[in-house]
Structure 1
Amino acid sequence: RPSPAVANLGGSALRPAPVGAYPGGASAYGAEQMLGDVWEWTTSPLRGWPGFVPMIYERYSRPFFDGDYRVLRGGSWAVEPGIVRPSFRNWDHPHRRQIFAGVRLAWSVEEPA
């Protein structure tokens, strides 16, 4: 379960953590810090899921489906642990920089001979 003991969540650090700061939160494959730190930008425009029907806050959903907003996923260091998960979606304009967002960089590592 996500918690500040295994990931940078809940506003405890007030900034992204250094690489390797949460080894206890490593995945079964050894990947670290997959939650917390920053919201992850995607290239996906914000759209409603298939069958989406706005609930009581239609003004907080449908107006943002204009194609200008991009999906952010996961959650940042400022998000409460109870709602952080890889499938959690947020959104904003891609040019904004003050929203605790970033990108995940990865590369293949050659196996030792």
Structure 2
Amino acid sequence: MKTIKTLCLSLVLACALPVLALDLQQAMQALGPAKSQGLVGEQPNGYLGVVQSSAQATEIAELINKARKAEYQKLAQQNGIALADVEAMAGQKAIEKTTKGQFVLLGGQWQKK
């Protein structure tokens, strides 16, 4: 009986613990579904934005945006141009490549493409 109580308590505690944080690879794998579900979308500044607030959407956007920024900084330095210029070019390209039905930020408003 004590073993069953211990097992039940362990299950309750395990369910109450927060979901483990994503790493970049997991965030990249979750990006497509998150875009399809309308959780995140592309912005003109080259970064992902959260369309529908959720912990997972925020975490995906933060991890991928951190990686994007590092890449943009590298490209800016290699080409002797401003970071803002690289971000703007990347944003334009990302919006152009966004699949129909997914969200993009245009004129300050989220819109389905």
* Fold equivalence (TM over 0.5): no
Shorter-chain TM-score: what band?
under 0.3
Say which structure is richer in helix.
2
TM-score after normalising by structure 1: 0.26
Say which structure is richer in strand.
1
Larger Rg: 2
The higher-RCO structure (CA 8 Å, 6+ apart) is 1
